């Protein structure tokens, strides 16, 4: 993971963004700059007028992800089923800010909270269709999965040691024998497919909805070309019952890909649970639920 500056935000504020805009994009210097309601950790985002945003990495380790988005999003966008962030301008270091940054188009909609979604089953189908469209995009020359994607798109074995440490730490708190079986199945399900595009952080917080429907997908910083199994984790993180079944039917994928997807979901749930089991009951409970549903899914489909 990237090292974050001591202030966690690289000294970024609206005044800095104003100065950067004035110096590098004077045609937009009269527009108001305001923080967005829900911001990320890797990047700070500010509204620029009504139709644009300024996006600034918070640490050097996040700069390659922004550069990747700047290069590839314009190429992917025409082939996808919903909008992705349009890149309108590429900023450079200046005004005391040390990293490249960008100006992007504002995408309307709210984060995909359940109360904003009209029909969760229909929504699951829309989400699956987006993933299929992403996988059909030409992967030639795309960024091969690795460190830049935090190893999403590679075999889950990269996190084997961490997963086994979590299993040991959680013994007596969760069914570690069943969890270990899910993990072993994920490791055994070797990926032999052709590399395809994956998002890498495909979760409700990176999906936008309007009028109850999927309208955009954001934050492609961990995207790349490789194994798409990591994107299926949303099956347990967001969907349940019929919506999960609809997602599974629509997105397809072979049994091995689903086994690896369960491995990705298991690793993340174990990691977050081990970090919060004694300190944040709400977060722990969410991850206990995900873990229980992944184990049940393995029992049913493996």
pLDDT tens-place string over residues 20-56: 999 999 999 999 999 987 777 788 999 999 999 999 9
% of residues, the chain, pLDDT over 90: 89
Q: What is the CATH number of the domain that holds 91?
A: 3.30.200.20
Cβ 301 vs Cβ 255: under 8 Å:
yes
Residue 4: inside a domain, yes or no? no
CA-to-CA dists, residue 210 to 110, 130, 161, 217, angstroms:
7, 16, 41, 12
Is 197 inside any structural domain?
Answer: yes
Q: Residue for token digits 């690289």?
A: 10
Neighbours of 86 (CB within 10 A): 14
Q: What is the pLDDT of residue 6?
A: 33
pLDDT of the residue at 42: 84
Distance CA 218, CA 216 (A): 7
| Residue range 136-185, pLDDT digits in tens | 999 999 999 999 999 999 999 999 999 999 999 999 999 999 999 999 99
Has residue 8 got a pLDDT over 70?
Answer: no
| CATH number (domain holding residue 170) | 3.90.1200.10
Strands (E) located in the chain: 33-35, 43-48, 52-57, 87-91, 101-105, 110-111, 196-198, 207-210, 213-217, 224-226
- Residue 10 is predicted with a pLDDT of 60
223-251 average pLDDT score: 98
- Which tens digits make up the pLDDT trace of 63-121? 988 889 999 999 999 999 999 999 999 999 999 999 999 999 999 899 999 999 989 99
The predicted pLDDT at position 225 comes to 98
Q: From CA 214, how far away is CA 81, in angstroms rounded?
A: 10
Whether residue 185 is found in the same domain as residue 294: yes
- Which helix (H) or strand (E) is 225 found in, with range? strand 224-226
Q: Please, which residues have CB within 8 angstroms of residue 158's CB and are 6 or more apart in sequence?
A: 151
Please count the structural domains in the chain: 2
Identify the domain boundary among 72, 106, 140: 106
Q: How far apart are CA 126 and CA 82, in angstroms?
A: 9
Q: Is the dihedral of CA 52, 39, 219, 64 positive or negative?
A: positive
3-state SS, residue 177: helix
Of 106, 125, 160, the one marking the end of a domain is 106
Nearest C-alpha neighbor of 103 from the set 23, 46, 162, 157: 46
Distance, in Å, from the CA atom of 77 to the CA atom of 54, rounded to the nearest integer, reads 19
Q: 106 and 47 in contact (C-beta within 8 Å)? A: yes
Q: Note whether 66 and 193 are same-domain residues.
A: no
* pLDDT value at residue 5: 36
Q: Does 74 share its domain with 129?
A: no
pLDDT, position 262: 98
Report whether 195 contacts 139 (CB < 8 A): yes
The whole-model pTM stands at 0.91
Listed residues 106, 140, 167: the one ending a domain? 106
Q: Counting beta carbons within 10 angstroms of the beta carbon of residue 50, is it exposed (0 to 12), middle (13 to 18) or buried (19 or more)?
A: exposed
Asked whether the predicted pLDDT for residue 189 surpasses 70, the reply is yes
Q: 107, 216 in Cβ contact below 8 A?
A: yes
Residues 53 and 129 in one domain: no
Domain span including residue 274: 111-301
pLDDT digits (tens, 9 = 90+) for 242-295: 999 999 999 999 999 999 999 999 999 999 999 999 999 999 999 999 999 999
Whether residue 115 is found in the same domain as residue 101: no
The reported pLDDT for the residue numbered 11 is 82
How confident is the model at residue 9, as a pLDDT? 58
Instruction: Using the structure block, give the residue that is written with the tokens 């490249």.
Output: 100
């Amino acid at each position: 993971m990237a090292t974050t500056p001591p202030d966690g935000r690289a000294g970024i504020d609206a005044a800095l963004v104003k100065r950067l805009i004035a110096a590098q994009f004077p045609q937009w210097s009269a527009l108001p700059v305001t923080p967005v309601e829900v911001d990320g950790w890797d990047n700070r985002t500010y509204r620029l007028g009504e139709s644009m945003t300024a996006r600034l990495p918070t640490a050097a380790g996040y700069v390659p992800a922004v550069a990747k988005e700047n290069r590839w999003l314009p190429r992917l966008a025409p082939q996808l089923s919903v909008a992705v962030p349009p890149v309108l301008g590429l900023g450079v270091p200046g005004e005391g800010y040390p990293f490249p940054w960008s100006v992007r188009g504002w995408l309307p909609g709210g984060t995909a909270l359940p109360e904003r979604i009209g029909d969760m089953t229909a929504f699951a189908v829309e989400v699956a269709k987006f993933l299929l469209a992403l996988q059909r995009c030409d992967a030639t020359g795309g960024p091969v999965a690795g460190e830049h994607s935090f190893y999403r798109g590679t075999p889950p074995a990269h996190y084997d040691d961490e997963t086994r440490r979590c299993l040991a730490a959680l013994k007596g708190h969760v069914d570690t024998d069943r969890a270990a079986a899910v993990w072993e199945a994920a490791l055994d399900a070797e990926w032999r497919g052709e590399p395809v595009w994956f998002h890498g952080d495909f979760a409700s917080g990176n999906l936008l909805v309007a009028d109850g429907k999927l309208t955009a997908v954001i934050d492609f910083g961990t995207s790349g070309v490789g194994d798409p199994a990591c994107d299926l984790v949303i099956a347990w993180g967001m969907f349940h019952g019929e919506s999960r079944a609809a997602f599974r039917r629509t997105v397809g994928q072979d049994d091995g890909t689903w086994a690896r997807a369960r491995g990705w979901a298991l690793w993340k749930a174990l990691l977050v649970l081990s970090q919060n089991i004694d300190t944040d009951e709400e977060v722990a409970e969410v991850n206990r639920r995900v873990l229980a549903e992944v184990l049940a899914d393995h029992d049913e489909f493996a």
